[in-house]
Every structure is written in C-alpha cells, then in structure tokens.
Structure 1
Amino acid sequence: MAPKKPLCFPSLLLLLLTLLRPQADTRSFVVDREHDRFLLDGAPFRYVSGSLHYFRVPRVLWADRLFKMQLSGLNAVQLYVPWNYHEPEPGVYNFNGSRDLIAFLKEASIANLLVILRPGPYICAEWEMGGLPAWLLRKPNIHLRTSDPDFLAAVDSWFKVLLPKIYPWLYHNGGNIISIQVENEYGSYRSCDFAYMKHLAGLFRAILGDEILLFTTDGPQGLRCGSLKGLYTTVDFGPGLLSKADNMTKIFALQREYEPHGPLVNSEYYTGWLDYWGQNHSTRSIIAVTKGLEKMLKLGASVNMYMFHGGTNFGYWNGADEKGHFLPITTSYDYDAPISEAGDVTLKLFALRNVISQVFQGVLERNTKHKLFLTGKMGAKLDVLLENMGRLSFGSNYSDFKGLLQAPILGQTILTQWLMFPLKVDKLVKWSFPLQLLKNSHPQTPSGPIFYSTTFPIFDSVRDTFLFLPGWTKGQVWINGFNLGRYWTKRGPQQTLYVPKPLLFPRGVLNKITLLELENVPPQPQIQFLDSPILNSTLHRTYIYSLSADTRSDSKPMELSGH
C-alpha cells in the first residue's frame, strides 16, 4: 500500500566517479552439462526457491511476502500466470491492480529475488479450471491441452499478448526471469500429444528467443509424456515419497534418464498440501520437510518449495478434483506453508531457513581476484572509489591500510602518478550538499555511487525508530547530518538502522535524510520507519515514504498494519 501523496526526492546527485566492481560480460543463465549445474553470469549457481501466487495475495501485501521469503534465505520465487485471470472474455485483457504481473516482477526485483515463471497455458495450481478460461468450452467439441486447432488458436492469441510483456524481464535482457516452464505436468494428462508440446515450445522460442531456458516439470510417472527434447526436464516430489531412504535417489535417477547431464532439479517440493471441503486440514511435519530439503541440497540439487506462501482463493477462483466424487478446494490455500495464509512466519520457516543457511552460496570478498574490462581512449583519466568497510580489530595484524597499496598494471605497463585523497562526505552532507545543489534531477543509471536526499515531517510525538531500506543494496545514511552508519540490505542479516529519538526534529520542523548508495538503486526507491528492528526477523508495523524524482511538499506518511 502506498501513501496517497508520496514523499518524493527533490534532488539527486550522480557522483562523477566510477565504482569499480566485477561484472560479467553479458547476463546469462544456462545449463552447464559438463559439470551438472547451472551457470549464472558464468559462475556456478543453484537456486533455492519458493512458490508464491500473486493472484492469491492482495497487491498491497506482495512486498511483505516477498521480503519474508528473501529473509528466509531464498534467492528466487516461482509463480504461475493464470490465463483466465487475465483474459476473462476472448480478447478482453486485464493487467491492472492485483492482476499487474509486471508490478509483481518489479516487487520481486526489489526483494532481490530471481523469478521462475510458469505461464501455462495450463497451470493446475488448484485454481479454477487449472487457469484455462471457461469460455473455451463454448466450442463443445474442443479438446483442451492438445493440438486441436481451436485450442491452439486461443493459446496463440493469448501468448502473443502475454509473452511480449515479459520479454524485457528475461534475465539476459536485464530482468529477473531466469527460466520459463512450458505447460505443467503434462505427463499426468491423458492426451500425451507431442505435437501440442512442440507447438508450445516453438511459440515460446518465436516470441522470447533462444537464450531463455525453457523447462518441463513432471512427477516420476509422468516424464515419458511430459518431457520434450530441447526443454530441460525437471521432476517434482514431496516428503511423502521419501519414506524409504533410497527413494530420492531413484526419483532423480528417473530425471537422469531424460537429462543425463545437467543439474538435478525438484521444481515442486511440497511443504504442505491442499485442503478439500469436508476433509481434515492437510499438514506436513517440519522434520520430514526439512530432512528432505537437506538431502536434496547435499546432492547439489536446485529446489523450489511449493508452496512457500499459499494465500487465499478469493471470490470464485478455487479449483476442484475428481477422485471418485467431486472434491472442491477450500477458500484458504494456506497449504501448511512456511508463511501462513495471513502472512505470519511459522516454525517451519525458521527450520527451513536453518537448513538453507548451511548451504554456501558464495560471496565476493576483498581478497578475491577479479578481471575488469575497461574501455577508454589513450590519455583518459580513471577514477577509483574505494570504500573503507572497517579496519581489523582483532588478530595479529592491525596494519590494515586502505587505498591503492601498489600501482595498478595495465598489460605490461605500470600506471603511475596516482593522486589519493579522502572524500569528506560527512562535511558535505552537513553543508546541505547535495540537497541544495540540484533540483528534480533524474539519475542516468540505477547504479551507484549516487546520492539521494529528501525531507520528511513527523506528525506524532518523536520517539526511537528503525530505518528500513527495502531493495537498496549497500551504502551510508545520514539523518539531519548525523551519520547513522552503513546499510547492506542485500547481504544482511541486519536490515534496519537504529534512529535514536534525539536525532529527530519535533513536529513542525522538517527532518532531512541523505543516502549514498554505492551499488544498485531499487526501481521504485522507498524508505520505511519501523517500530521494531529487523536483525534477522520480519516487520510488524511500518511508515512508508516513496522516494521518486517528483516534488510534492505536502506529502504525508501512511501507516500500514501487517504481520
């Protein structure tokens, strides 16, 4: 939920310095069949993901749920796209409000989560008609999920609307979508129509290109009809199939029959189960779920947990099953998931987070060697901005110098005549720099180093608070000229900075905040003031200020209640 009149940044300053950090030549997400793994930008990678359905969660709560997933240790979110939710009648499309798929992708990006997209056309998901529009049945002889010309014509029309929308969000295009599923557990359907699957694969390739990774997902018994050459085969199973010690090995061995080389992937590891009206609530024990996850991670597998947050079947959107008799699915899609239907974190979440935290994800440290490719003309000047992250405070070597400790070498040439000097940033901030320097300036790039600065009022009594910077990466913050310290939201575990009451001006006097972001700025910059710290937990109550380049002096904070 956003304020009615968001508080906006009146000034921005882009530092005239270049922050040097390693970057891949191009963004890519590919299968490394030689070493049985994924590569992200050329580096070994595996995802630990969770399913969340934007269509089961009010839009105002998307950010809350995504950040709880990110704080749980996940690096990706998996989601379906229900066709019937966006095309209620033929040719009538709705991508507004809680149907704004692109807005959800943006929220996932702010939460630093990659995206695994499952656009169907059939999605199952215990959703009304598996996501297929009921108006398809107006043609009484139509054969759904087959190469029936009537069905393919409707699918083609829908995908020619949907797929161009997500194209800019593919990872190699600068977005966060790393892979896309074709159909959904097609091997469990009676038709086994390979012509249909080939048509879908061709349609995805024609619109999205050849770089995006396309995959299929099927249970152990559905791989024969659900797999297709050219689409990466993945499996799905939950702890219920792991009662015997060697069952996991057997299931992954089935995947190996279709993918002899490449990463092991469980695209749906069930953290709970769905509920039917008139039956008991389904649960999965914490011990069973965590043990299964731990075993898969030790095998080096990439895993998506279905569901990580279930949500609600609002309105008439619940699906149903036929198992000898009609079984409608309940309104609640709680799924006994790690994040409850109401957004509360559970003991299952903390147990899963403990397992995930044992997996080494890889970090870039100061003593790691990197290659940096520079372009420039002879005689050009190179500026290097170095951040002092603290000098050694324990150990045998306290001589922790900062700066260029030896002359850089370009090819065989030693680069000399370097001028090193400290930036007096604190003094500049106290002198109201950069707030008074530029008005209504727009950054040319979302990358730092860059200053953001604005003012904000306090409408109630002044008290201690905690500053939360969702989506920001790493930098420094000043309140009324006082340096609060470093934030490193992306690294964690600390997510908030303590703002003591004496630093804030009382009602009637504007407070000033200045941020120096060193790396990446979120697409829609926001700051939040919380009643409680997030040191490795979730928030309860927030005041949110939207930070944009427009100027509105009459902005007011919006109080939100959450979990």
Structure 2
Amino acid sequence: MPVLRIDKEGFRLDDAPFRIISGALHYFRVHPDQWRDRLRKARLLGLNTVDTYVPWNLHEPRPGEFTADGGLDLERFLRLAAEEGLYVLLRPGPYICGEWEGGGLPGWLLAEPDIRLRSTDPRFLAAVERYFAALLPRAAPYLGTRGGPVLAVQLENEFGAYGDDRPYLLRLAEMLRAHGVDVPLFTCDQPADLARGSVPGVLATANFGSRVAESLARLRGHQPEGPLMCGEFWNGWFDRWGGLHAARPPESAAEDLDRLLAAGASVNLYMFHGGTNFGFTNGANDKHTYRPTVTSYDYGAPLDEAGDPTPKYAAFREVIARYAPVPDAPLPEPSKKLDLPGIALPRRAALLAQLPALGTAVPGERPLTLEELAARHGAGDGLGFAFYQARLTVPGATVLHVPAVRDRAQVFLDGQPAGVLERENHEHALAFTVPEGGALLSLLVENQGRVNYGRAIHDRKGLLGTVTANGAALTGWSSTALPLTDLSGLAFADPGPAPLVGPVFHRGEFDVAAPADTYLDLTGWTKGCAWVNGFALGRYWSRGPQRRLYVPGPALRPGRNEIVVLELHATARAEVGLCGTPDLGPTEE
C-alpha cells in the first residue's frame, strides 16, 4: 500500500494529494465475527480509512501478561481492513479516553499509591515501555511503510485537556520511533487545548462537533501550514446511567460534516460505529459527581449498535459523495433479528454462598483495593466486584463509616441486606443494629467503571481508607476479587417457590433455530449483569436510560443456548425476553 506523507499543502499518498475520510470503529467493542461486516459498511459509506484505539487494559490485564487473541486480535482486524480496501489510523494510547474503563489505562498501575499516570513518572513510563514492546512489533508489519494499511499513529490522546508536560509527550514519541513506528505521528486535542497537547514535528489535529469554521481557524492559527484535520468529528454522544439518551439529529451532523469537507479538511467521524461496552468495560466521568457510562456505546452513530444503518448513514453518504468517490451500491440492509419472549430462568445460585467458586479471599488488616488484589496477589483483573468481610463484635446501634466507596457497596449483616452506599450519591455512612454475640459484616462492592477523563483518572476501586464502626477502626479483613470471567463453577439449583434475596445468579436455557442479532429485555429486573453462552453482555440498571442489552448474533448458536443473569437486588419476574429492537430509553428534547 502507498505511504502517507505530509507537506505544507496537505496529505499526499503515492505523491498525489489525499484527503482522509475516516470513521472510528473500535475492534474491541464489536464481536470479532462482525468485524468484516462493519468494515465493509464503512467502505460503502464512502470512507477510505477507519480509526481505532487500542485498549492497553484489555491487552495487558495483569502486569506482564499480554494477550492479543479472539476479540483482541488487532492483527486480524488490520488485515481485514486492508482486504476491504481501507486504510487505518492507529491510536495505541497509552491513554485513549473513549468512555472506556480507566481511559484504557490498566487498573493495576494504581497499586502504586503515589504513581502519577500520564507523566514522566519512571514507574508509569516503564509500564508503557513494556506495553509498547509487546504491542508495536505486532503492529509494525501493518504500517504503510511496510505495505500495510496503517497510515499514521496517534501520540497519546487529548493530552492538552489533562496537563502541560511536553517531556512526557516527547518521551512517548521516542518510544514509538524506537519500536519501529516510521509512519507520521499525530495528536488530537480540543481547539482550546492545542498548545498544551501538541509537540514540534508531530501533526496536530482538532476535535469538535460543531462551530466548524471557528475550530478550523484555531487549528490553522496553531499550525500555520500542513493538513487541516478534525481528529474526532463528534456526530453523536454517549449516555450515563440515570440520564437521558443523547441524540443528535442527522440533519445537524450532516450540515457540519458538509462544512468540514467544503473547507478542504480531512475528517474522522467519532463514531462511525460505536458498538458496545461488553462486560465491565464502560468508563465513567467525575466532575465532582461520579457518573458511570451505560453498556451501549451506540453513540448516535451512522451504524447503530447492531451494525444497522441509521438515517445518519444515508445523510453522511450523501454529503461525502459531493467530495469523494462513493461506491455505487445500495444502502446496507438491516441484519435479521431474533424475537423470543418469555425465557424462564428457573435455576439459581446465591452469590454469597458461591464465593469459593468465584475468587480466593486474601487476609489483611485493612480492605485491599481491586488494584492491589490484581497486581500483588494475582487475583482478578481489576474489573467486576470486590467482596469484603470483617467481624463486628460490639452489639447495639452501630454507624458504619467508609471514607470512600468505589463505587457502590451492598452491605450485609450475617448475610442479610443492611443497606447500600453509593459513590454517585456521596454516601459514606450506614446505621444498623448489631445483635448480641456480634455479626459478620460483608460488603459487595461494584467497580462501576474507572474514570476515563480528567484528573480523576487515579480512580482506585473497592473500599478506600479506614473503615470504622462507631468511630473505632475495623481490622481483620478478608478481601476477594470477583472478576466474574468464569461462571463454570457455580452450583445452580431450583429453589422452589421461595424468593431469593439478591445478589443471586439466575440461569435458564432457550433454543434457537438460526442465530441472529437480538436484544435482551430485562423489564422487571433491578440491577446487575448478564451473560449468554458465557459471553459477557454487560450491565443493566432499572434507572435507565438503556433498557435492553445488545446480543451479537455470533454469541448465539443453533440449538440450545444458556443465559445467566446476576441480579444484585430483586426481580419482579424470573424470566427475560429477546427482542428484535433496541430500547436506549427516552431521548433528550
């Protein structure tokens, strides 16, 4: 493939002027059996390039354990892109934001109590060096200079919104070059942050979703010559639990895309296809109040969560056709969908009774964070839940105080629910009565997603600080990481008519003649997570806005299928349904 070059006038490919018309498509948010379909639809839209982040935290779930297979097979994704005639913009981080857990930074980094992320802290840079040493040799054969599809590689991500540390950015650039990255490097920042986020010799691009003329003018003022490029054209937005579903009208987004292309700029749609925060991979924001992101990353993109074209797809295709060749082909058809109501989940397993099958308790004088459990005890990957226990020996009225709950703690006395403490509600204390003879205190703490943006990314999970009962420090704890990546050891049984108080795993089976995309409807359920045939679909929560979880067709199989739902509280019905349509909730007016 030809090599991208940058001169004073713009991009050149094979010594001919070239405009990048790209769309973001994160391989790790899409089932790998659907990668080719999404890439083909990118080409049919008129895109010549796709853009992807690389999630360090998934590729290195524990220090020194690098994985790149299955849904993390970046090399296969790059090969498929090339086969579909698409170039690639590669964004390896180490920080990626993306409303992704921790912005892609592995949680185990935070086992060091005073580490400074995204800085020249030697401990952080040593971890980045090890990550790049594992990742970049895999990506190198796919660089444009070696006949591959990768035109350019991003240096960090929106660093100007975080800090002003040019030596850090320069050190990352040295690392990339030392590991064989010889294609152009670029940065991306919001227009107001360009000076802090860019470095000499690296192309600066700007991120925005409106005010096109003003944003391009600021980019040109910062970078007097060379290509103008919108590194992220925000054609939609993400949702948070407890909010409304964000939606940008196709007409508005298409008008701004037209302005961008009419100005001669290159563009990267963010997102072309958003996909899904499967499992426990969603991020969160914390601007004085913690707000976790929902499971769907539909993002109001031209392709919806199931890969079906939306009205925005047709509107964007019409705009792109004014400025670049668009394949002479009809719009893609929506995929077939599966409807199957009334799936019973009769078998159950209480989480508190199944702890030995889910994790190993680690003793300590204080509660250990998920980061400490992962990095120092090889327990879990820093995602999912942490379970804590300590003995209360003084009977009577008791006030439990937890300085920091990260992020939501269900509290139990002798296995019975005593209350909930939520970070989002700034809750720290809970009152209850300890019976004569004392009681076993248990806390199930959910990591609802590490903060992915801003200074709050140093977001440790579990119980932080000294936990007290009536002002006296509690000691003698056991801490258990519950990543819930393997549920095969659970012992399910039919409990009969008696309801089980959550947290409880519910299991059922259903038959499918021909697998197809569908959506898991959890009406009547309260909060938890779900799996189909062991594939982690993600979290659900009755507070919305999202009401159904996307189930990729490849996660199903012909014949008998299994579904497991972990309900943390209670359900009004012991059944779920599969629906042919999504429900992302009420939309902002």
Runs of 4 or more consecutive aligned structure 1 residues displaced over 6 Å after TM superposition: none
The CA deviation at 1:337 is 0.7
Task: Give the residue type in structure 1 aligned to 2:328.
Answer: P
Residue matched to 1:213? 184
- Cα displacement (A) at 1:327: 0.3
Which of 260, 269, 284 lines up with 1:320 in the alignment?
284
Partner of residue 185 from structure 1, selected from 158, 176, 197: 158
Could you tell me whether the CA contact under 8 Å between 2:308 and 2:332 is conserved in 1? no
1:375-454 equivalence runs, <5 A: none
Equivalence for 1:537: 332
Residue matched to 1:229: 200
Aligned residue runs from structure 1 range 105-504, under 5 A: 105-189=78-162, 191-209=163-181, 211-239=182-210, 242=211, 248-361=212-325, 492-494=327-329
Alpha-carbon distance, 1:539 to partner:
7.0
Conserved? CA contact 1:102–1:166, under 8 Å: yes
Does the Cα contact within 8 Å between 1:29 and 1:39 map onto a contact in 2? yes
Pairing 1:100–2:64 present: no
Distance 1:340 1:122 in 2: 25
Alignment partners' CA distance in 2, 1:561 and 1:107: 22
1:560 is displaced (CA, Å) by 7.0
CA displacement at 1:195 relative to structure 2: 1.0
Q: Give the unaligned 5+ runs of structure 2.
A: 337-512, 518-552, 554-589
Taking the aligned partners of 1:154 and 1:321, their CA distance within structure 2 comes to: 24
* SS in structure 1 of the partner of residue 192 of structure 2: coil
Distance 2:324 2:269 in 1: 19
Alignment match, 2:4: 29
Q: 1 CA distance for matches of 2:161 and 2:324?
A: 35
- Equivalent pair of 1:320/1:328 in contact (CA under 8 Å): yes
Is the contact between residue 120 and residue 184 of structure 1 (CA under 8 Å) also seen in structure 2? yes
Aligned amino acid, residue 195 of structure 1: P
1:330 and 1:536 map into 2 onto residues whose CA distance is: 29
3-state SS of the aligned residue for 1:221?
helix
**Partner Cα distance (1:253, 1:351) in 2:** 26
Shift of 1:561: 4.4
| Match among 45, 62, 65 for residue 72 of structure 1 | 45
Equivalent residue for 1:59? 32
8 Å CA contact retained: 2:235, 2:270: yes
Instruction: Tell me, in whole angstroms, the C-alpha distance in 2 between the residues paired with 1:539 and 1:274.
Output: 22
Distance 1:236 1:119, change over 3 A: same
Q: What is residue 365 of structure 1 aligned with on the other side?
A: none
User: CA 1:560–1:44 in 2, change beyond 3 Å: closer, same or farther?
Assistant: farther
Deviation at 1:170, TM superposition (A): 0.5
Q: Deviation digits for residues 476-513 of structure 1, max 9, x if unmatched?
A: xxxxxxxxxxxxxxx8425xxxxxxxxxxxxxxxxxxx
> Which TM-score applies when normalising by structure 2?
0.56
Q: Is the 8 A contact 1:27 1:173 kept in 2?
A: no
Q: Distance in 1 between matches of 2:331 and 2:100?
A: 34
**CA–CA separation in structure 2 for the residues paired with 1:142 and 1:227:** 24
Unpaired stretches in structure 1, ≥5 consecutive residues: 1-25, 243-247, 362-490, 495-534, 542-557
Q: Deviations over 1:146-171 (max 9, x none)?
A: 00001000001110111111111001
Answer whether contact 1:294 1:355 (CA < 8 A) is retained: yes
Q: Which amino acid aligns with 2:39?
A: L
Counterpart-to-counterpart distance in 2, 1:99 and 1:119:
13
Q: What TM-score do you get using the length of structure 1 for normalisation?
A: 0.59
Contact preservation (8 Å) 1:68, 1:538: no
Aligned residue identity for 2:90: L
Determine the structure 1 residue equivalent to 2:547. Answer: none
Provide the rounded CA distance (Å) in 2 between the counterparts of 1:337 and 1:536: 15
- Cα distance between partner residues in 2 of 1:120 and 1:263: 22
Distance apart, 1:271 and its partner CA: 1.1
Return the letter of the residue paired with 2:158: E
CA contact (8 A) 1:73 1:353 kept: yes
- Give SS of 1:305's match: strand
1:82 is matched with which residue?
55
Q: Secondary structure at the match of 1:222?
A: helix
Distance 1:55 1:346 in 2: 22
The DSSP-based 3-state class of the residue aligned with 2:291 is strand
Report the equivalent of 1:544: none
How many residues are paired up? 343
| C-alpha RMSD over aligned residues | 1.9
Give how far 1:109 is off.
1.2
Q: How many angstroms apart in 1 are the aligned matches of 2:327 and 2:249?
A: 29
CA distance in 2 between counterparts of 1:204 and 1:54 reads 21
What residue identity is the alignment partner of 1:153? Answer: A
Q: 2 CA distance for matches of 1:330 and 1:175?
A: 35
Counterpart of 1:204 in structure 2: which amino acid?
Answer: L
SS at match of 1:50: strand
Question: What CA distance in whole angstroms lies between the structure 1 residues aligned with 2:256 and 2:302?
Answer: 15
Deviation by residue 1:57-106 (Cα, 9 ceiling, x = unmatched) = 11011111111111111111000001001000011011110010001111
Per-residue deviation, 1:258: 2.9
Deviation of residue 30 (structure 1)? 0.7
Offset, 1:124: 0.2
In the alignment, what sits opposite 1:471?
Answer: none
Distance in 1 separating the partners of 2:55 and 2:201:
24
Partner SS for 1:331: coil
> CA–CA distance in 2 between the matches of 1:215 and 1:103?
24
Structure 2 CA distance for aligned equivalents of residues 100 and 48 of structure 1: 24
Contact map agreement 1:72 1:349 (CA 8 A) in 2: yes
Counterpart in the other structure of 2:368 = none
Structure 1's 360 and 332: CA in aligned 2 closer, same or farther, altered over 3 A?
Answer: closer
